[in-house]
Chains A and B, each alone.
Chain A
């Protein structure tokens, strides 16, 4: 149990820079989820914390101690790998005990800790088995068990659930969360699944192209995304973006079709280009706003997802209650309080000034 502090971590592989300065301050016992598209540097960041990769510059501080030069073993962290990396020739017990054995923990103590962890994870009956005699979910638990018995300062998870089927993934997700709370171990969890990220994390780090685009609680990221990337990445179906020009002293945006959209507040000087973001579920039927032509209706039971196009050809997605919706022309309004305004150039969020 410890705090973790990352200061301006940069990493280059040869000429290609993969991390462009990531800073992060993790409180004791906190669960941080690192989420982002494939190739954005999530695993690299995690591996730098573990010590499996050396940062080009920056500092890793675990529990107040600068571990930048230390070997993985001396950092007192435990990692759960995507493919679990269980030693195939060792029993479940052997796998869980191996780290302790190397550290010279007395036999009785090893036995006690492994038994305890196995009970906690419900794999007490499997201790004599080999990894190949286990199901995917059981292997997952053993990999967790191997991390738990070490009683490390830090848990590191690199997409540990991505090899499981959908149902098991939901179950293990809840289990990991419960376990992490109960043990109170500071954790970093890497995933590219936004649902996993939203449900697991105390806070999320949304990564984009080697930057931390936003670091905040799940709800804050959902309600106030820091830029268009985060806004588009979190939430399903993805947020709609409409290009507009500010007018009326910056409180109204005019869309290309001539539609005026009142904004929740002043978003800048007249004539500035902005992107207006609205989540599909916030669009409401009603005249005076957008008039898309719906091309595809996906009924989900209690609600439906409607895909359509605006008169200028840009796509629009709406999520409306009810199962039956006709295709064709539709009128939708944009409630001002659910609008997000972003600078069209930089993509950064513009906070409304009342």
Chain B
């Protein structure tokens, strides 16, 4: 009995966690190149999802069109955030960047409320296949699609970073921005494109989340910022792999906590784990010596 619950919770957690992992990947990319926190990341995703929802409600747009709107919308809003909150500031004005991104958070949320004033709005479901039965375990088909999409995107991002010329440039900027400039990489352009890429990945995450819920609430911006942040921190702030691990861990943890302790305690457990990790083991899950530099950067932010 309990074993089945544990297994089922773990499965559910991995599914939900895959969306956290996507959020954390975007966050990690932005943090990596900017060394600054983008609090408007969640609201950027919200903007994309709300535009897609509006298209769905107003014109009944088909799901692939909505997907495109969400991703492009998030990328464009991401560009706007980069322009206003990050581009104008040097690394020295980190706090200013962060507070400016918070200001845009407020702005984007209010604009979204004007677009769709209701707290809850319908979103087209990903698919309406019945759940799969594997022995005693139940698996929602759309959750499986979400997990598969996450793995695909994570794989694509990893490949892109490791094997392409532009991926090399991103890693160089993350690793040693001054040296990146010296070898002839356009650091500002790399930062901007990474920002847009990360926002698009966030848009994908937002789409998958909204489509598996078949609805969107006004909380999605705040939700994405906090979940993405926690997953990124749990993963140790250093790498795409860490972000994925952090996201999945957060999902599994929440699923168990929800089942055994209820929804309120669920959120507390995630924050509690983060607090304990930071206070006693600040390297995070992927903590290692190789991360010392990232840590040093994180400390200064």
- Answer whether A and B are interacting partners: no
Interface residues, chain A, CB within 8 Å of chain B?
none
Interface residues, chain B, CB within 8 Å of chain A?
none
